[in-house]
Structure 1
Amino acid sequence: MRYLTTDLTGEEVLTGQTGALGLIALNRPRVINSLSREMIRQIETALDTFETDPSIAAVLVTGEGERGFCAGGDIRMLYESGRAGSPDAQEFLREEYRLNGRIGRYPKPYVVIMDGITMGGGVGLSGHASHRIATDTTKLAMPETGIGFFPDVGATWLLSHAPGELGTYMGLTGEPIGPADAIAAGFADVFVPAANLVSLAERLAAIPAGVDAQAVTDLIANFAAKAPEGQFAANRALIDRCFAFDSVEQILAALEAEDSDFAAKAKATMLTKSPTSLKVTLALLRAGRTSPDLETCLAREFSATAQTLKTPDFYEGIRAAIIDKDRNPQWSPATLDAVGPDIVEAFFAPHPQPLFG
């Protein structure tokens, strides 16, 4: 636990208790704490223990190492499993998404320090938490359209409920955002400067056993500050104007019509992404807006993964980003106009083995 001097046990996930605080530390710093299936199970076990232990008032979740909280899931495993036709990829996603749902309804305060890179699966571990702390180094993103995938781990709930069109911008471009923008988009609650994190952790470790969620909120507020201004404040009107459309083509046309470096960059970034992923992502985000809860979005995402694992862009995107690292994916279909409604609709087919039930 990088913010506390305390003894923890475990390997890829360190767990323990100090005072009334249950501790979970992701411990794969070499790969920015990317999640393995075993890590997901270890987190579940820790949450089981902490939930039923009356001496635990709250849980603190952090990532070891200096680079970030969590860079995502085990993409290479998904690639290899999908190509081999093994069930490992689907089972990993099933367990991960069920954990994301559990975090959203966890009965005790669940505090996450989102230091450094917080992407993909890291957003799944943090975005649904009751207390989400951004720091000076927070770099948050859902970059899945760049690997032929879509924002998952419940991100279609978070993104679709972000103010205005901030979530649509984040989901389609995959651009990383800092602490102020993470708070503005509803992915974090407060900004705590790096200089205050150790003191905050020490105060959390000293909370009494009977403390409630509001007391944790008040404690964290004592260490919070105003985050350095991000990009959203200056570009909010443009984002809301350009990303309000229900087709990717209309969004790109609106960005083209703007006399703005921000709009030009957003358009250029989107044009590097998988055309299929862009259209599927937008459809999932619009469906998320009318969904009743996080679990509904997670179940829809899980259904969409079955089609993703049959789609060439997923393997081509991972090849270009992770395997060969040439950063030059050849998407198929290669253009937006070739991605018809039938291609998108296939991602909405019910999963033969539903996520919940």
Structure 2
Amino acid sequence: MERVDNLNKQIKEDKVIIKKCKHPSTVSVLLNNPKRLNSLDVHMFKKLNDVVSDFNHKIIIIRGVGDKAFSCGGDVKSLHKYITQKDDESLMQYFDSEFKMDYAYFLQNQIPNCALITIYNGIAIGGSITMSIYSKIRICSENTLISLPECKNGLLVPSIQYFSNLRDNLGVYLMMTGDFIKGEDCVKYGLADYFVEHSKLVDLQNELEMQENLESCHKICKKYAQNIDVNQIRNKEYIKDLFQLTDFNTFWQNINQKASQNQDLKLQKFAQHCLKQMNLSSKISIRVNYSMILSSFDSSISFNQFMLLQARSAINLTKLSTDCQEGLKKAVIDRNYIPQWSHETVESVSQQEIDQILNDETQIQSFTRQMIQSFDDVNNLFIQKQNYQNKLIDSII
């Protein structure tokens, strides 16, 4: 009885619950912060980082507690507090822990015989996507809702490199509008690999926890998954047209022109919807994120260099603009609040303001040095992990 009580206490207190599986190299991770829809705070960032950094953890299966959410992303309620109270130490720690964890989970999926398996068992928003989007297996159900609402919060969109490369400009559309993608559409958009009925997720996970290699995990997923026609995407041709990457002024003129024409009323209606969503957003966030999308195609910038650029831009948006305070106030304090954005139109945002957020290090030099060191530490750790896993394979052979 005492052991049961202790286990129940652990489940109530631990925001990240780690379960050992049949094989020591496979672990199951449960995000356990249901009161905040499994939002990720600094403690959770660090614990998740510890899980993926363990040399013995080859297969990591992750989902959120309950049926409502995988995770609604980073703990933006705490983030709002750090920003408004000018608590720079906590703010820097938040971003350092988040980006360090994100980079670690990316590297986990680069090791040939290692993988993250993500079960999107509900809402998956913003920062939770950064950790999971590079998973070698991503599972969605009819309850899955994926969104990138950062522009509406005055923040930087996560995983810009991944979303920029989605076919037919689908990722650019998601980043700019924050629209929700639901259920099997997640597979069509390239955000999930398998669609499994929600009622079968528990059985699926139980079988996955019995596996010790990626190939057998794929076989299990195929057994449960439904076939999805990835070419049947609603408004695909409109998205491809409206969100083609050019300079921002050309992009903005195109979407406004399509919203005002009347030859194709369906296109007009969809363009008007997209414009409405972007006009509800922080104008400086729209402009900064669009610039970052263009930068993501620069082949001279490595993945970790781009991660550093994202980290710098993310924290500069919180320090050089008041929009994040406005957007987060609506998101976590008062849902009826109307944000008072610093700019009324996207055209009024100057290139100088954008460049300052992307490049300025006046207030964050120590943070930049810390992030460089953090990325180097994570990179070196995963070189060691890959070498360790390779030795295990050699010993078996």
**TM-score between both structures, scaled by the size of structure 2:** 0.80
1:283-302 paired onto structure 2 within 5 Å: 283-291=291-299, 293-302=302-311
Shift in Å, 1:267:
1.3
Divergent runs of 4+, >6 A: none
1:90-169 paired onto structure 2 within 5 Å: 90-106=92-108, 107=111, 108-152=114-158, 155-169=159-173
Structure 1 residue matching 2:168: 3-state secondary structure: coil
Tell me how far apart the structure 1 counterparts of residues 167 and 188 of structure 2 sit (CA, whole Å): 8
Equivalence for 1:239: 239
Shift in Å, 1:75:
0.8
Shift in Å, 1:249:
4.3
- Specify every segment of 5 or more residues in structure 1 that has no aligned partner in the other structure, as ranges: 1-6
Equivalence for 1:176: 180
In the alignment, structure 1 residue 203 sits paired with structure 2 residue 207: yes
In the alignment, structure 1 residue 345 sits paired with structure 2 residue 355: yes
Q: Are the counterparts in 2 of residues 252 and 267 from structure 1 also a CA contact under 8 Å?
A: no
Equivalence for 1:268: 276
Shift in Å, 1:88:
0.9
In the alignment, structure 1 residue 356 sits paired with structure 2 residue 372: yes
Structure 1 residue matching 2:244: 3-state secondary structure: coil
Equivalence for 1:68: 69
Q: RMSD of the alignment, in Å?
A: 2.2
In the alignment, structure 1 residue 216 sits paired with structure 2 residue 232: no
Letter in 1 for 2:219: D
Shift in Å, 1:39:
0.8
Letter in 1 for 2:96: R
Matched residue count? 341
- Specify every segment of 5 or more residues in structure 2 that has no aligned partner in the other structure, as ranges: 1-6, 259-264, 374-397
Equivalence for 1:255: 255
Letter in 2 for 1:73: G
Q: Are the counterparts in 1 of residues 166 and 189 from structure 2 also a CA contact under 8 Å?
A: yes
In the alignment, structure 1 residue 185 sits paired with structure 2 residue 189: yes
Which residue of 38, 42, 55 corresponds with 1:33? Answer: 38
Higher helix share: 2
1:277-316 paired onto structure 2 within 5 Å: 277-291=285-299, 293-310=302-319, 311-316=321-326
Tell me how far apart the structure 1 counterparts of residues 36 and 237 of structure 2 sit (CA, whole Å): 37
Shift in Å, 1:127:
0.7
Shift in Å, 1:47:
2.3
Equivalence for 1:4: none
1:40-55 paired onto structure 2 within 5 Å: 40-49=45-54, 52-53=55-56
Structure 2 residue matching 1:309: 3-state secondary structure: helix
Tell me how far apart the structure 2 counterparts of residues 184 and 90 of structure 1 sit (CA, whole Å): 36
Tell me how far apart the structure 2 counterparts of residues 226 and 93 of structure 1 sit (CA, whole Å): 39
Letter in 2 for 1:317: G
Equivalence for 2:17: 14
Letter in 2 for 1:104: F
Tell me how far apart the structure 2 counterparts of residues 290 and 297 of structure 1 sit (CA, whole Å): 10
In the alignment, structure 1 residue 23 sits paired with structure 2 residue 18: no
Tell me how far apart the structure 1 counterparts of residues 126 and 63 of structure 2 sit (CA, whole Å): 16
Mean Cα deviation higher: 215-224 or 105-114: 215-224
Equivalence for 2:387: none
Q: Are the counterparts in 2 of residues 179 and 227 from structure 1 also a CA contact under 8 Å?
A: no
Tell me how far apart the structure 1 counterparts of residues 152 and 121 of structure 2 sit (CA, whole Å): 23
Tell me how far apart the structure 1 counterparts of residues 76 and 58 of structure 2 sit (CA, whole Å): 34
